């Protein structure tokens, strides 16, 4: 498995700063969610023209790649296509999308069908770019059975899953073993973070300091012979009270290599 981290950990940083900490902490890649406070990162000068070429060259010189481009799409096809264009330019294998929540006035069946249709349409539009569509286990459709069902209905050879076992655990009580069994080879990218149960609620903590069954996640990924990216999702953007990225990012890399790297 290769290691990356989501820039949710450092949402206001510049690309040089992001690349610098990734290289120093021994990561293999970077999952782009926010850069300089922007989530539609294709808008930024650093990802345009000659500066884009320089960004890609700097990543390569540091032994890094972009593991995933995280869109906030709940199926805005235009946004998905723009992110796929950037993904192709950066050599990114997939873009992350959400199914997310059932909207007022809709029901589960029609929402599931809409998500599947959107996955199918977006996959078809961007397949020629060499970029896949990866649906995250999230919201009302977090479980492995729901996500696998949507992919089966979408019936696209260029669609896969961003498996977030913590989401699955929090949203529907699904254990990592159950989730991995249900998703299997459709898993293209994995998010990992630790949680601690405190005062009847779960809180994000530095990796290894919580109760979430991290070892079970790593065990089932080995059983699946998973060799893609394991990406640390430190949600500083949504939880400003947690430790800074300068602490959490090196900590995760060190924790993983000390405890799980063979």
* 45: helix, strand or coil: helix
pLDDT band at 261 (very low <50, low <70, confident <90, very high): confident
State the pLDDT at residue 25.
98
Residue 74, pLDDT > 80, answer no
Chain segment 134-193, per-residue pLDDT in tens:
999 998 899 999 999 999 999 999 999 999 999 999 999 999 999 999 999 999 999 999
State the pLDDT at residue 260.
85
pLDDT band at 200 (very low <50, low <70, confident <90, very high): confident
Task: Confirm if 124 and 160 have CB atoms less than 8 A apart.
Answer: no
State the pLDDT at residue 76.
63
State the pLDDT at residue 103.
80
CATH code given to domain 2-259: 3.20.20.150
Largest pairwise CA distance in the chain: 51
State the pLDDT at residue 262.
56
Cβ atoms within 10 Å of 236's Cβ, excluding its own: 22
State the pLDDT at residue 73.
54
- E strand residue ranges, 7-112: 29-32, 65-70, 94-97
Instruction: Give CA–CA dist 27/5, Å, rounded.
Output: 8
- In which region does residue 4 sit, left (phi positive, over 0), alpha (psi from -120 to 50) or beta (all else)? beta
Instruction: Give CA–CA dist 35/176, Å, rounded.
Output: 30
Domain boundaries, the chain: 2-259
Residue 75, pLDDT > 70, answer no
Chain segment 77-133, per-residue pLDDT in tens:
788 899 999 999 999 999 999 887 888 888 999 999 989 999 999 999 999 999 999
Whole-prediction pTM value? 0.96
State the pLDDT at residue 146.
94
* 182: helix, strand or coil: helix
> What mean pLDDT, rounded, does the chain reach?
94
Which is higher by pLDDT, 103 or 255?
A: 255
């Amino acid at each position: 498995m290769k290691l990356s981290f989501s820039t949710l950990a450092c949402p206001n940083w510049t690309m040089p700063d992001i690349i610098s900490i990734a290289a120093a902490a021994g990561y293999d890649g970077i999952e782009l969610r926010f850069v300089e406070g922007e989530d539609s990162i294709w808008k930024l000068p650093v990802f345009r023209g000659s500066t884009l070429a320089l960004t890609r060259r700097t990543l390569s010189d540091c032994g890094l790649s972009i593991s995933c481009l995280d869109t906030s799409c709940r199926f805005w096809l235009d946004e998905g296509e723009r992110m796929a264009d950037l993904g192709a330019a950066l050599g990114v294998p997939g873009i992350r999308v959400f199914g997310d929540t059932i909207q007022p006035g809709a029901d589960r069946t029609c929402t599931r069908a809409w998500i599947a249709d959107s996955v199918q349409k977006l996959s078809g539009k961007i397949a020629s770019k060499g970029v896949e569509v990866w649906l995250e286990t999230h919201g009302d459709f977090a479980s492995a059975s729901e996500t696998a069902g949507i992919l089966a209905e979408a019936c696209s050879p260029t669609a896969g899953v961003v498996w977030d076992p913590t989401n699955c655990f929090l949203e529907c009580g699904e254990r990592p073993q159950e989730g991995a069994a249900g998703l299997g080879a459709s898993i293209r990218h994995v998010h990992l973070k630790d949680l601690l149960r405190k005062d009847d609620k779960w809180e994000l903590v530095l990796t290894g300091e919580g109760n979430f069954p991290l070892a079970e996640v790593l065990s089932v990924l080995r059983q699946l012979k998973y060799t893609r990216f394991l990406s640390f999702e430190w949600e500083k953007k949504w939880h400003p009270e947690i430790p800074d990225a300068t602490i959490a990012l090196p900590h995760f890399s060190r924790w993983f290599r000390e405890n799980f790297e063979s």
